[in-house]
Amino acid sequence: MLLTIGLIRRISNSVNLKIMKAEHKEAIVWYDKALDIDSNDAVALHNRSFSLEKL
């Protein structure tokens, strides 16, 4: 479980750079991958929603 949480955090941190560059479509793809690992990850859910709103 700890490995999974760490992996999701690394994905989220990398995707945050996409958001900063306004690459929201690509960010959503990566947040979906993180949510495939843990569909209840609040950070990934929040950030994915943010990117969807920016489209």
Domain extents for the chain?
A: 2-54
Return per-residue pLDDT of the chain as tens, 55 residues.
Answer: 555 767 777 777 777 766 767 788 888 998 898 889 889 988 889 989 988 998 8
Please tell me whether the overall predicted TM-score, pTM, comes out greater than 0.85 for this model. Answer: no
CB 36 within 8 A of CB 11: no
Closest C-alpha among 41, 54, 55 to residue 11: 41
Radius of gyration of the chain (CA): 10
Q: Which two tokens stand for residue 39?
A: 């569909």
Residue 24 to residue 50: CA distance in whole angstroms? 9
